A and B are shown apart, each in its own frame.
Chain A
Amino acid sequence: MLDTHTPPQDGQTGQTGRQAQSLFLGLMGSPYDSDWTTTFFRLLDDTLARGCEVSVWTCGNATSITSRLMHRDPDPIHPDSPSQTCSHSMPSLVTRYLGKYPGNLRWYVCRYCMEERGATQQIDGVEIKLPFSFTTYLNQAEQSLVFGTK
Chain B
Amino acid sequence: MHHYLIVETQSALASKRLSGISLALEAAEDGSQVSLWLMQDGTQALQSAQDVGLEACCAHANIRVFADAFALNQRGISLAGWPQVESAGIDVFATRLLSTDTRPIWH
A42 touches B70 (CB 8 A): yes
Interface size class of B (residues with CB under 8 A): 20 to 34
B40 touches A39 (CB 8 A): yes
Name the distance in Å between A132's Cβ and chain B's nearest Cβ.
23
A19 touches B70 (CB 8 A): no
| Number of chain A residues whose Cβ lies closer than 8 Å to a Cβ of chain B | 32
Instruction: Look across to chain B and name the residue whose beta carbon is closest to the beta carbon of A2.
Output: B59
Q: Which of A4-12, A56-64, A82-90 makes up part of the contact surface? A: A4-12
B95 touches A19 (CB 8 A): yes
Partner of B100, one of A8, A17, A146: A17
Given contacts A2-B56, A148-B106, 15 further A-B contacts (CB under 8 A): A2-B59, A3-B59, A5-B61, A13-B3, A13-B35, A13-B64, A15-B101, A16-B101, A19-B95, A36-B40, A39-B40, A39-B68, A46-B90, A145-B104, A147-B106
